[in-house]
A = this chain, B = another copy of it.
Amino acid sequence: MKDVAQHAGVSTATVSRVLNGHAAPTPETRERVLAAIEELGYRPNALARSLRTTSTQTLGLVISDLLNPFFAEIARAVEDEARSHGYCVVIGNADESAEQEATYVRTLLDRRVDGLLLCPATDDPSLVREVSAGGVPVVLLDRTVKGATCPVVRADGSEALTALARRLVGAGHTRIGVIAGPPNTSTGRERTDVLTGSLGGLAQVVHGDFRQESGSQAAAKLLDGGATALVAMDNLMGLGALGEIRARGLQIPNDVALAVFDDQPWFPLLDPPITVVAQPTVEMGRAAARSLLALINGQQPDDVRLTAKLVLRGSLGEAEL
């Protein structure tokens, strides 16, 4: 910057003003400065600027698993929305591990992100408290924690799950296997509670960890137990369940009915196509980014609760008539 100033025959203060669009410099000086910048190929050091202004124009996003297309889509949406407001997003991958999540959150705070979007790995509120205590705006995404005091953005699948339950029961299934998420996540618990609640005593629940492998294992256990219908509570566990069903040579929907929470672009391509509870991922990501930006700007955004929809495609068989 000093070089630029010298080159243009002005002080660094003037260069800075030109860069930041201040009113002061004359068009003529501005011209000279811009020319010098161009000529020297100067690019301002964002670190120095942030250090001085205490604003990095960056949001932190800590997600549970980048390989889960659900989160990848969310990340993408967050990024789009953030960028359209001049913010950058730094993504941290927690791998469904509370420990790694904490590490990432701290790293991001150390780098002074202006705000944090968090998909908490567990419902333990201590990490969120720690961040809030540090005065950094936080918004929770997809999942919440116990006694959360920050805005939460998530999808409500109750209606869809209730409708799903009605159909399964209506179709005469009496042993319905539920491949549930970890009980220490809000989504894991809530979805399962709603579904089993609506199923009366017909549900058998096995907990997985939101990953493919656990989906296969849970499916195996449930099928061994005589389940005639399976509901997987996220797309990766759904993938695992599908694998297990195929491995056993079972036919959907005749041998076993299947529904999955979270839609995927390839679900319609299966034979039969898979019935799902689809979450509005893009809207969730955008809404979360908007809430966080509002928080950063000193507003108090409300919680956002979007609605997940049941999409019937055929994998429930007669239950869908």
Chain A interface residues toward B at CB < 8 A: 41, 43-48, 50-51, 56, 66-67, 69, 72-73, 75-76, 79, 88, 90-91, 93, 106-107, 109-112, 133-134, 212, 239, 242-243, 246, 264-266, 268-271
Closest to A49 in B: B110
The distance in angstroms between the C-alpha atoms of A106 and B44, with both chains bound, is 11
Q: Which of B41, B47, B66 contacts A111 (CB 8 A)?
A: B47
Nearest-neighbour CB distance to chain B for A20, whole angstroms, equals 14
Inter-chain CA distance A73–B72, complex, in Å, is 11
Check if B268 sits within 8 Å of A269, measured CB to CB: no
A212 to B269, Cβ gap below 8 A? no
* CB pair B76 A93 closer than 8 Å: yes
CA of A265 to CA of B79, assembled, Å: 26
Q: Is the pair A106, B43 in contact by a Cβ cutoff of 8 Å?
A: yes
Task: Kindly identify which residue among B45, B66, B93, B243 contacts A269, using a CB–CB cutoff of 8 Å.
Answer: B243
- Which B residues are CB-close (under 8 A) to A45? 51, 110, 112
Task: Determine whether the beta carbon of A88 is less than 8 Å from that of B112.
Answer: no
Could you tell me if B69 and A76 are in contact, using CB atoms closer than 8 angstroms? no
* Contact A67 B69, beta carbon cutoff 8 Å: yes
Which residues does chain B contribute within 8 Å of A265, judged by CB atoms? Answer: 212, 239
Contact between A43 and B109 (Cβ–Cβ < 8 Å)?
Answer: yes
Residue of B nearest to A100 (CB): B83
Could you tell me the distance between the alpha carbons of A50 and B48 in the complex, rounded to whole angstroms? 9
* A46 touching B266 in the complex, CB below 8 Å, given contacts A69-B69, A79-B93, A271-B271: no
Q: Which residues of B contact A269 (CB under 8 A)?
A: 239, 242-243, 246, 270
Q: Can you identify 12 A-B contacts, CB atoms within 8 angstroms? A: A43-B106, A43-B134, A44-B110, A45-B110, A46-B111, A47-B47, A47-B51, A66-B75, A66-B76, A67-B73, A88-B111, A239-B269
Q: Known pairs A45-B51, A45-B110. 9 more at Cβ < 8 A? A: A43-B134, A46-B111, A66-B76, A67-B69, A67-B72, A76-B93, A243-B269, A246-B268, A269-B270
Please report the C-alpha to C-alpha distance between residue A243 and residue B266 in the assembled complex, in whole angstroms. Answer: 8
Known: A47-B112, A269-B246. A91 touches B91 (CB 8 A): yes
**Cα–Cα distance between A69 and B67 once the two chains are bound (Å):** 7
**A72 contacts B79, C-beta separation under 8 Å:** no
A76 and B67: CB pair below 8 A? yes
Shortest Cβ distance from A42 into chain B, in angstroms? 11
Return chain B residues, CB-CB under 8 Å to A93: 76, 79
Among all A-B residue pairs, the 10 with the closest Cβ atoms: A46-B110, A46-B111, A47-B51, A91-B91, A66-B76, A47-B47, A90-B90, A242-B269, A72-B72, A266-B266
A111 to B46 CA separation, bound complex (whole angstroms): 5
The smallest C-beta distance from A105 to any residue of chain B, in angstroms, reads: 11
A102 to B61, CA, bound (A): 22
A43:B110 contact, CB within 8 angstroms: yes
Minimal beta-carbon separation of A12 from chain B (angstroms)? 16
A41 to B132, CA, bound (A): 13
Contacts of A239 in B (CB 8 A): 265-266, 269
